[in-house]
């Protein structure tokens, strides 16, 4: 079940949720004295009025009144989670709104099974189950089915991934491999960001905020019905974030701004057909101090056709085109003895992606559900040839072909077995296979046990394969030879592989308590290493260092997440992760970083969140997190030295008041416990520290 739908990955989106918002507004709360008594806020104000209503009392209520009764719902998580045989967590739109997050990486802090470390004002390292480097490359991220990882280094440029957060329906975060459905790079986890349908986002919504770090922030959306059963929305968003500081106390000069906008149209007038057309554009820039400013821009358009053929069969056809451009400045390096120097330059990367996917699902007899599909992706990437860094060849076209087949077999009424595999072909390594097998046992309607074995791969990126970083060394005094490059990719670079073993348990333990626990053992092979070139009497530098696949090892850990509805108006949430990593150099091989380059991960982290509905339409949210210290390496050419990022506690809060149904005022504090704290980076005077942020926000509409 869990992995059955790639494009509407877990919970059916769209059609049925869509009309909700409007009808919700049609309710004028008919607060009879009885339903008032059930209402949490009222109960808080006057604890004595609340009586447990009897079934007889409830039967006397009108339908409208019944719909105003609050239930002691355990969690906001869709119940379908109880059928999900994977370590999935869902961030709902309500969670995002209450958190005060204004960007996607901030919202991802709500997933207990992710590591989120802010590097500077505009960069984040985000991963699951370890390997959270600044170029983290083992997580696949999709926004409405569009893969947003960059083939430049196989990771996600979080500074350009964003949306008007109010229009996000949910974020599904799966820790653990998802290669069988999603293909290469879904190694340690998959994040599916799913926006609301146009029908769910009708009318005008506008928001603005200002504070010490978030200096300007504004967003607007307008949605309208353009024809019977055809809905459209447009949105725009802009923000401007201030500088942070370096550990030496200097201004880090890394302020940035980003403007974006887009549309989504949903149509379902042709019976069982559902058509979506959507697109986004963005443009922004970041300050890089003396080097100048970066330039970031992009655009994409996506079309999707979903057709239901019968009660248990249907297909989805999706195509998208995505264009991204980034220009990252490098400051000039002045010439010196034996060093020719580098002029100021800007690495320009232009990436065009065309992607086509088809997926078909059908029931097979009484007990089986089959999903199959195929995909094609073409990328065209051009990187400016610079003296300071280059990719060879500078222009590269690549083709990716894939197909998958998965079968869900109900071996008993409450036991399901799912087996499947992806087969794909890429230009670097040829064929890759990513099979998995899962079993789920709903031994009680409120409890689920699951287990899985999966194989996943990370295929080479241009960084692994094509990178050339010139040394700039010249005029060698005889008889010495100087190296042309000091860091190089490797045209024989292999795919990194993972075999993952997972078990999990998810339950609604009592009417107010729910939780999940998962444990994993990951066995990795052919992880990226850096090897130095042997020196000789005339060749005295160990350069170039180049990438190989000389690391292997295993990681294991547990992920715990639990929600407790303390009172009707107060929910507590706690999450905890434990991670052990044992990555080592293969016998007889070497690695310049001593196998430490990608594993700057906290051994433990925990989060505690409190969600409150207070009287007089006031909400209060508080999120405390603790992240263990990181043991961080200084990059592939920095040697095996290990630095420490200290463990830290931080606290985010949000106080919001719904003045009227349309108007909301809120005050948000992020990282309140310290004026500055470090989340990532090798210790140095230029390591950046993240600032306390406080902002006020006004929101109209909804």
Partner 1 sequence: MAAAAPVSEYQLKAVFLFNFAQFVEWPASAFPQTSAPFVIGVLGKDPFGADLDDVVRGEAVNGHPLAVQRYQNVGEVRDCQILFIPAAEFGHVGELLARLKGRSVLTVTDADEGPQRGVMIGLITQDRQIRLRIDVEAAKVASLTISSKLLRPAEIVGTARS
User: Which spans of this chain sit near partner 1 (rule: CB under 8 A)?
Assistant: 1, 11-12, 15-17, 19-20, 23-24, 27, 37-38, 40, 43-44, 47-48, 50-53, 55, 58-59, 61, 63-64, 66-73, 78-80, 82-83, 94, 271, 308, 310-312, 363, 366, 413, 442, 444-445, 511, 567-568
Nearer to partner 1, 133 or 448 (CB): 448
The structure tokens listed for 694 are 């406080």
Nearer to partner 1, 257 or 369 (CB): 369
Nearer to partner 1, 77 or 188 (CB): 77
Nearer to partner 1, 61 or 419 (CB): 61
Write down the residue that tokens 């001593």 correspond to.
Answer: 594
What is the spatial distance between Cα 642 and Cα 681, in angstroms, rounded to a whole number? 11
Nearer to partner 1, 97 or 304 (CB): 97
Nearer to partner 1, 30 or 540 (CB): 30
Nearer to partner 1, 324 or 563 (CB): 563
What is the spatial distance between Cα 59 and Cα 62, in angstroms, rounded to a whole number? 8
At CA 629, angle to CA 626 and CA 634, rounded to 5?
Answer: 140
Q: What are phi and psi of 672, to 5 degrees?
A: -75, -20
CB of 1 to partner 1, least distance (A): 7
What is the spatial distance between Cα 500 and Cα 493, in angstroms, rounded to a whole number? 22
What is the spatial distance between Cα 412 and Cα 86, in angstroms, rounded to a whole number? 19
CB of 448 to partner 1, least distance (A): 9
The structure tokens listed for 128 are 């699951």
Provide CB contacts within 8 A for 59, sequence distance 6+.
none
Cβ–Cβ < 8 Å for 264, 198: yes
Nearer to partner 1, 299 or 308 (CB): 308
The H or E element that residue 362 is part of is strand 345-364
CB of 71 to partner 1, least distance (A): 4
Nearer to partner 1, 204 or 510 (CB): 510
Nearer to partner 1, 364 or 649 (CB): 364
CB of 254 to partner 1, least distance (A): 39
What is the spatial distance between Cα 657 and Cα 621, in angstroms, rounded to a whole number? 12
Nearer to partner 1, 72 or 686 (CB): 72
Cβ–Cβ < 8 Å for 454, 177: yes
Cβ–Cβ < 8 Å for 122, 159: yes
What is the DSSP pairing of strand 139-143 with strand 189-195?
parallel
The H or E element that residue 477 is part of is none
What is the spatial distance between Cα 569 and Cα 63, in angstroms, rounded to a whole number? 23
Nearer to partner 1, 212 or 273 (CB): 273
At CA 674, angle to CA 670 and CA 675, rounded to 5?
Answer: 85
What is the spatial distance between Cα 351 and Cα 183, in angstroms, rounded to a whole number? 20
CB of 50 to partner 1, least distance (A): 4
Return the HEC string of 454-514: EEEEECCCHHHHHEEEECCECCCCCCCCCCCEEEECCCCCCCEEEEEEEEEEEEEEECCEE
The structure tokens listed for 647 are 């463990």
| Cβ-based burial of 537 (10 A; exposed 0-12, middle 13-18, buried ≥19) | exposed
Provide CB contacts within 8 A for 79, sequence distance 6+.
none
CB of 199 to partner 1, least distance (A): 11
Measured between alpha carbons, how far apart are the two ends of the chain, in Å?
33
Give one DSSP letter per residue of 482-496, joined into a string: --SEEEE--TTPPPE
- CA 276 vs CA 119, 262, 300: distances in Å: 36, 13, 14
Cβ–Cβ < 8 Å for 445, 483: no
CB of 565 to partner 1, least distance (A): 9
CB of 656 to partner 1, least distance (A): 15
CB of 229 to partner 1, least distance (A): 9
CB of 78 to partner 1, least distance (A): 4
What is the spatial distance between Cα 182 and Cα 404, in angstroms, rounded to a whole number? 9
CB of 20 to partner 1, least distance (A): 6
CB of 445 to partner 1, least distance (A): 4
The H or E element that residue 539 is part of is none
Q: Is 36 helix (H, G, I), strand (E, B) or coil?
A: helix
CB of 15 to partner 1, least distance (A): 7
Cβ–Cβ < 8 Å for 50, 34: no
Q: What is the total residue count of the chain?
A: 702
Nearer to partner 1, 37 or 551 (CB): 37
Nearer to partner 1, 363 or 553 (CB): 363
Nearer to partner 1, 47 or 534 (CB): 47
Nearer to partner 1, 322 or 408 (CB): 408
What is the spatial distance between Cα 639 and Cα 125, in angstroms, rounded to a whole number? 21
CB of 424 to partner 1, least distance (A): 29
Cβ–Cβ < 8 Å for 606, 624: no
What is the DSSP pairing of strand 545-567 with strand 570-585?
antiparallel
CB of 43 to partner 1, least distance (A): 5
What is the spatial distance between Cα 252 and Cα 94, in angstroms, rounded to a whole number? 34
Provide CB contacts within 8 A for 483, sequence distance 6+.
471, 473, 533, 539, 541, 543, 544
CB of 68 to partner 1, least distance (A): 7
């Amino acid at each position: 079940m869990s992995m059955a739908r790639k494009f509407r990955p877990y919970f059916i989106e769209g059609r049925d949720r869509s009309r909700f918002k409007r009808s919700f507004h049609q309710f004028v709360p008919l607060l009879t004295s009885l339903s008032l008594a059930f209402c949490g806020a009222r109960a808080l104000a006057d604890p004595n009025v609340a009586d447990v209503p009897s079934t007889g009392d409830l039967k006397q209520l009108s339908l409208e009144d019944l719909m105003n009764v609050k239930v002691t719902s355990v969690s906001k998580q869709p119940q379908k989670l109880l059928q999900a045989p994977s370590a999935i967590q869902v961030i709902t739109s309500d969670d995002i709104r209450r958190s005060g997050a204004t960007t996607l990486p901030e919202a991802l802090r709500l997933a207990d099974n992710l590591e989120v470390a802010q590097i500077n004002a505009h960069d984040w390292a985000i991963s699951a189950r370890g390997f959270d480097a600044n170029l983290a490359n083992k997580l696949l991220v999709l926004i409405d089915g569009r893969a947003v990882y960059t083939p430049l280094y196989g990771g996600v440029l979080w500074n350009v991934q964003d949306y008007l957060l109010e229009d996000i329906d949910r974020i599904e975060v799966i820790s653990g491999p998802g290669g069988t459905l999603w293909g290469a790079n879904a190694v340690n986890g998959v994040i599916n960001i799913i926006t609301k349908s146009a029908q769910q986002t009708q009318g005008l919504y506008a928001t603005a905020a200002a504070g010490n770090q978030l200096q300007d922030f504004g967003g607007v959306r307008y949605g309208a019905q353009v024809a019977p059963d055809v809905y459209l929305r447009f949105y725009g968003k802009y923000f401007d974030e201030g500088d942070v500081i370096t550990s030496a106390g200097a201004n880090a000069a890394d302020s940035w701004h980003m403007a974006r906008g887009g549309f989504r149209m949903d149509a379902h007038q042709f019976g069982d057909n559902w058509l979506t057309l959507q697109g986004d554009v963005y443009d922004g820039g970041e300050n890089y101090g003396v080097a100048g400013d970066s330039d970031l821009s992009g655009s994409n358009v996506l079309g999707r056709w979903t057709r239901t053929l019968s009660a248990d069969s249907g297909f989805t056809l999706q195509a998208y085109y995505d264009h991204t451009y980034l220009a990252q400045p490098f400051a000039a390096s002045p010439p010196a003895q034996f060093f020719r120097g580098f002029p100021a330059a800007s690495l320009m990367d232009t990436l065009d992606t065309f992607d086509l996917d088809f997926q078909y699902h059908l029931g097979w007899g009484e007990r089986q559900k089959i999903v199959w599909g195929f995909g094609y992706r073409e990328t065209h990437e051009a990187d400016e040839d610079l003296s300071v860094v280059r990719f060879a060849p500078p222009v590269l076209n690549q083709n990716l072909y894939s197909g998958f087949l998965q079968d869900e077999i109900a071996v008993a009424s409450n036991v399901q077995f799912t087996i499947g595999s992806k087969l794909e072909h890429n230009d670097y390594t040829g064929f890759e296979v990513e099979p998995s097998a899962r079993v789920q046992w709903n031994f009680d309607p409120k409890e689920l046990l699951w287990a899985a074995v999966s194989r996943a791969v990370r295929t080479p990126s241009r960084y692994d394969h094509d990178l050339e970083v010139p040394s700039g060394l010249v005029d060698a005094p005889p008889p010495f030879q100087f190296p042309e490059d000091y860091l190089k990719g490797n045209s024989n670079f292999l795919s990194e592989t993972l075999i993952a073993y997972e078990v999990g348990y998810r339950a609604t333990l009592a009417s107010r308590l729910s939780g999940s626990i998962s444990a994993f053992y990951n066995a990795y092979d052919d992880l990226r290493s850096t090897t130095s070139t042997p020196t000789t009497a005339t060749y005295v530098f160990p350069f170039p260092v180049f990438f190989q696949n000389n690391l292997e090892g295993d990681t294991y850990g547990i992920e715990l997440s639990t929600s407790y509805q303390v009172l009707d108006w107060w929910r507590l949430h706690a999450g905890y992760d434990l991670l052990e990593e044992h990555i080592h150099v293969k016998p007889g091989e070497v690695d310049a970083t001593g196998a430490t380059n990608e594993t700057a991960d906290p051994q433990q982290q925990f989060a505690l969140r409190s969600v409150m509905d207070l009287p007089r339409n006031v909400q209060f949210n508080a999120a405390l997190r603790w992240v263990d210290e990181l043991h961080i390496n200084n990059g592939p050419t920095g040697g095996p030295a290990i630095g420490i990022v200290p463990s830290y506690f931080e606290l985010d809060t949000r106080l919001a008041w719904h003045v009227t149904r349309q108007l909301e005022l809120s005050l948000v504090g992020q990282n309140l416990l310290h004026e500055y704290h470090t989340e990532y980076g090798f210790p140095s005077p230029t390591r950046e520290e993240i600032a306390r942020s406080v902002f006020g926000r006004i929101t109209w509409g909804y």
